[in-house]
Structure 1
């Protein structure tokens, strides 16, 4: 039994004619008929009822349609994956990322890559920035994208700086901190800080809080939205102040440390050699960071 024979069988059933299937396949009628006869001989059953120039599936022919389609689909996937591999394309790419960059960027970028590389399976996991190192050390991902907060080097992965991200300490325009002409660290400690939290060795941890009174959340977008609700002040990527509402409602705190540039990194496991798609994805992030800051 060959996949080409199953493809001919399905096409004949769809078109209701061996001659019509042969024309669509650019083959002679006798070639298609001979292939179908060989398939029936191999399986020991009649798959088609032939009446003049028309054909229709027998009961057993009808019952194997779903399985035949699955076999054909699986074979096409195998061929595509092998072609991808021979061309240097990854057959699977596991990505972990934080939410420093807007969701729209990731959605558009991965959709475009999936259309260009249909034989590649993409897995993406969203994690708080400080948690991503643990993901890489645990071999969860092939590549990770995240803001660096001065983590130590690791033997488990190598890193490449793709650009820099401007972080802004912001607060609701009606918050008392925004009414001050100059804000000190002591002022920041007096009010609730919206801080990033992450899992560290099975314990929920706040990442470097300034205030002793904080509201912990795992992602920057959530932190931004809670600041919009006047709960407290926070430090988030400037790229997430996307809408006019964000920019009108949240104001930069008037203190020297309110604006900080931080590196944005790609982390890759030492045992993984970057393929074509991983390199292209890194370049797209570089291009986006450059265009966003210009």
Structure 2
């Protein structure tokens, strides 16, 4: 038994397909199948029930799956610790963030972060809120910050809530919905909605459109522009729109849809040692959300 075999087992279990697992691992399908068979031979039991091209975990496979995931997390933690001790740890950090908080805040924090930790290079990319966990889980970025739409029991991801964000149903003040003292479900469904969409394939009821007509964007800022310029409504984070509510460019729709609070989180891979720069950034975001 070795880590390559355990990794092959876990990814095939997650995908249910040797072909898809091989694509994700960027390896040969035959080599992956051989790794699974070698692990089964070593353990003396079948880990999968094979049905055509689909593989389903056997009872033995279900019993060891979590232990396999734990082994991979522990191995990642060991590698991170050794890299840190040898001075090779995170000379460059990739960060994904959504646009639920104002750009001016991120510009200020990114400049201060760079000055506070000059020995580390920081790359900050904009992503859809719904894609943040997937970007961390697939190691496309090291850390991510944003509204948590995908909270799941994922052994690969640590979720650290930094504060609460209120999401509000809004429209342009001149929109007919803004003039109603009470908005019915039918009236809301008939109006054009600007909605959040993302590439992650998981279905998320919180992001399903309410209206019969809708247009989707991967950015709150694009949603906001559409709401301000077109005859549309949408659910937006309060930090992004407070100034527009105050100057009455936007109005809150008098309907319960979207009037919720969500966690604003830092997402990290399990086993990833936290860089001091990320601790500093998390503290600053926590202070901002607490004072907001």
- Alignment TM class, shorter chain as reference: 0.5 to 0.7
8 Å contact kept, 1:156–1:270: yes
- Paired position in structure 1 for 2:263: 263
State the secondary structure of the residue aligned to 1:151: coil
Q: How does 1:79-90 map to 2 (within 5 A)?
A: 90=90
- Paired position in structure 2 for 1:189: 189
State the secondary structure of the residue aligned to 2:235: strand
5+ residue gaps, structure 1:
1-83
- Paired position in structure 2 for 1:76: none
8 Å contact kept, 2:133–2:150: no
- Paired position in structure 2 for 1:25: none
5+ residue gaps, structure 2:
1-83
8 Å contact kept, 1:170–1:252: yes
- Paired position in structure 2 for 1:58: none
8 Å contact kept, 1:137–1:156: yes
- CA 1:244 to 1:227, structure 2 compared with 1: closer, same or farther past 3 Å? closer
State the secondary structure of the residue aligned to 2:166: strand
Are residue 158 (structure 1) and residue 167 (structure 2) matched?
no
Q: Whole-Å Cα distance in 2 between the matches of residues 224 and 216 of structure 1?
A: 12
Which entry has the higher C-alpha Rg, 1 or 2? 1
Deviations 1:248-282 (A, max 9, x none): 11100011335211111111101211121111111
Alignment TM-score, normalising by the size of structure 2: 0.65
- CA 1:149 to 1:99, structure 2 compared with 1: closer, same or farther past 3 Å? same
Q: Whole-Å Cα distance in 1 between the matches of residues 85 and 246 of structure 2?
A: 44
Deviation at residue 150 of structure 1 after TM alignment? 5.0
- CA 1:217 to 1:94, structure 2 compared with 1: closer, same or farther past 3 Å? same
8 Å contact kept, 2:131–2:200: yes
State the secondary structure of the residue aligned to 2:224: helix
Q: Please, what is the CA RMSD of the aligned residues?
A: 2.6
8 Å contact kept, 1:173–1:250: yes
State the secondary structure of the residue aligned to 1:99: coil
- Paired position in structure 2 for 1:212: 212
- Paired position in structure 1 for 2:249: 249
Deviations 1:38-69 (A, max 9, x none): xxxxxxxxxxxxxxxxxxxxxxxxxxxxxxxx
8 Å contact kept, 1:252–1:258: no
Number of aligned residue pairs: give it: 207
- Paired position in structure 2 for 1:48: none
- Paired position in structure 2 for 1:228: 228
State the secondary structure of the residue aligned to 2:174: coil
State the secondary structure of the residue aligned to 1:198: coil
Q: Whole-Å Cα distance in 2 between the matches of residues 191 and 156 of structure 1?
A: 40
- Paired position in structure 2 for 1:123: 123
Deviation at residue 151 of structure 1 after TM alignment? 2.9
Q: Judge which range, 122-131 or 252-261, deviates more.
A: 252-261
State the secondary structure of the residue aligned to 1:239: helix
Deviations 1:119-174 (A, max 9, x none): 11001111111111211111111111111225322121111110000111001111
Q: Whole-Å Cα distance in 1 between the matches of residues 155 and 118 of structure 2?
A: 33
Alignment TM-score, normalising by the size of structure 1: 0.65
Deviations 1:44-97 (A, max 9, x none): xxxxxxxxxxxxxxxxxxxxxxxxxxxxxxxxxxxxxxxx98899842221111
- Paired position in structure 2 for 1:139: 139
Q: Whole-Å Cα distance in 2 between the matches of residues 176 and 255 of structure 1?
A: 14
